[in-house]
Structure 1
Amino acid sequence: MKLTLSSLPHTWILDVDGTIVKHNGYKIDGYDTLLAGVKEFFASLPSQDRVILLTARKAEYLPALKEFLTKNQIRYDHIITDVPMGERILVNDNKPSGLCMSFAISKERNSPLCIPFTINLHI
């Protein structure tokens, strides 16, 4: 599925474990490992976009996670810890023009991060 996005700034909300790093790698291996495609995906995001990361990790693991992300040049604006392990539900309203204002993507755990998108300057 390829997303067609407007030229407006976007907000990307991504889970950490199993989405951008190996699930529970920090526990199993003692360190995090980036998944394939993560650096390329983050490099493709427009500079005006915002990135919010969600994780079920406890806040005590936040300093190590931030250090890892910085070392690997993974940009983010906010990280929310202690998120419940259940489903994450995104709810947003559409613009009066009809522009869809929310998308949800579920990916296979630990698979490469690949979210193809294009920016349509006419929407």
Structure 2
Amino acid sequence: MSELRLSALAKTWILDLDGTILKHNGYKIDGIDTFLEGAEEFLKSIPEEDMVIFLTSRTDQEREATEAFLRDHHIRYNQIIFNAPYGERILINDRKPSGLVTSLAIDTERDKFCKLNITIDHSL
């Protein structure tokens, strides 16, 4: 389980789809998408004021089916970026003058949703 100590500020969640939220290549192998255990509940627990951005190497050909799957499951998101390269995903962000760290990365095992223990620290 990953421990996260976060501020009370609104957040931007940047999430990969395949192998992180959904079964890796399930849409290709099984012909349908399926959530990893705990992922759907986690996504639905993200506060409305937070921004949700999905990244995926899926091509534009999978756009309609991917968006329909998320819509059918009532998953809120602000944007999906398709056609992402298969390599590393690098996030660079500045640290607030208060010392608040504004970029975090969590690497997970493929096809195992990362369980997060989130604590909101109002002093941050």
Q: CA distance change for structure 1 residues 62 and 73 in 2, over 3 Å: closer, same or farther? A: same
Counterparts of 1:110 and 1:92, CA distance in 2? 28
Instruction: Give ranges in structure 2 of 5+ residues lacking alignment.
Output: none
TM-score normalized with structure 2 length = 0.95
Counterparts of 2:26 and 2:64, CA distance in 1? 16
- Residue-pair matches, total: 123
Q: CA RMSD in A?
A: 1.0
Paired residues of 1:41 and 1:113 also in contact (CA < 8 A) = no
Note the C-alpha offset of 1:113.
3.6
Counterparts of 1:40 and 1:71, CA distance in 2? 14
Read off the aligned partner of 1:75 and give its amino acid letter: R
Counterparts of 1:115 and 1:67, CA distance in 2? 27
Q: Does residue 1:17 correspond to 2:10, yes or no?
A: no
Counterparts of 1:89 and 1:50, CA distance in 2? 18
TM-score normalized with structure 1 length = 0.95
Read off the aligned partner of 1:5 and give its amino acid letter: L
Read off the aligned partner of 1:55 and give its amino acid letter: T
- The alignment-based identity, stated in percent, is 52
Paired residues of 1:50 and 1:76 also in contact (CA < 8 A) = yes
Instruction: Give ranges in structure 1 of 5+ residues lacking alignment.
Output: none
Runs of 4+ in 1 over 2 A off after TM superposition: none
Counterparts of 1:47 and 1:117, CA distance in 2? 16
